[in-house]
């Protein structure tokens, strides 16, 4: 294999994304939550008074597709995790319990991903990826 400085960043970012997404989705499904449902529950955990449906789709739709977020909202409502009051989504007690289960999974996954990686190296990696995106004229944002 070529030295790291001579390898294509695009190849490695795609492979990392695929591996992380597959591991995350599989682990979340073990507690009955899809990744888009996790994104929704996470947003609701940050805003206990509720969030606007359209704003939520706009905010987290870039993580997958807006349709995936619409499906996650509909699923969460059907499962009783979220109720819709007008255009506002509000987490239910059942939704908070599901969020806590998924949050523990996410915490465990982050610890798994960080094995052998310092916080400084992780921060540098994120900064390099952000700069790379800027350098090629891309746009990315994460809440």
User: What is the predicted pLDDT for the residue at 30?
Assistant: 98
C-alpha dist (Å) from residue 25 to 62, 73, 128: 17, 17, 26
| Percent of the chain whose pLDDT exceeds 90 | 90
Report the greatest alpha carbon distance in the chain. 57
* pLDDT tens figures, 69-120: 999 999 999 999 999 999 999 999 999 999 999 999 999 999 999 999 999 9
Please report which confidence band the pLDDT of residue 6 belongs to, taking 50, 70 and 90 as the band edges: confident
What DSSP string describes 75-91? HHHHTTSEEEETTEEEE
CA distance 108 to 27: 10
Tens-place pLDDT, residues 44-54: 999 999 999 99
Please answer whether residues 37 and 68 qualify as being in contact, where contact means their C-beta atoms are separated by less than 8 angstroms.
Answer: no
Q: What is the pLDDT of residue 4?
A: 84
Residue 141 pLDDT > 80, yes or no? no
Could you give the 3-state DSSP secondary structure of residue 138? coil
Look at residue 142 and tell me whether its pLDDT is greater than 90. no
Predicted TM-score of the model (pTM): 0.89
Domains of the chain are 12-135 (1.10.10.10)
The whole-angstrom separation of Cα 137 and Cα 5 is: 22
CB atoms within 10 A of CB 23: 13
* Inter-residue contact 102 to 33 (CB < 8 Å): yes
């Amino acid at each position: 294999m070529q030295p790291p400085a001579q390898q294509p960043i695009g190849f490695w970012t795609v492979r990392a994304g695929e591996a992380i997404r597959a591991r995350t989705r599989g682990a979340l499904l073990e507690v009955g939550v899809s990744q888009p449902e996790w994104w929704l529950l996470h947003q609701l955990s940050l805003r206990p008074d509720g969030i606007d449906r359209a704003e939520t789709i706009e905010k987290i739709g870039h993580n997958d597709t807006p349709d995936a977020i619409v499906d996650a909202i509909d699923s969460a409502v059907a499962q009783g995790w979220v109720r819709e009051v007008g255009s506002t989504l509000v987490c239910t007690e059942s939704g908070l319990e599901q969020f806590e289960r998924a949050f523990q999974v996410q915490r465990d996954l982050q610890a798994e991903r960080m094995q052998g990686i310092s916080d400084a190296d992780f921060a540098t990696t994120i900064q390099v990826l952000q700069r790379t995106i800027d350098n090629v004229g891309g746009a990315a944002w994460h809440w």
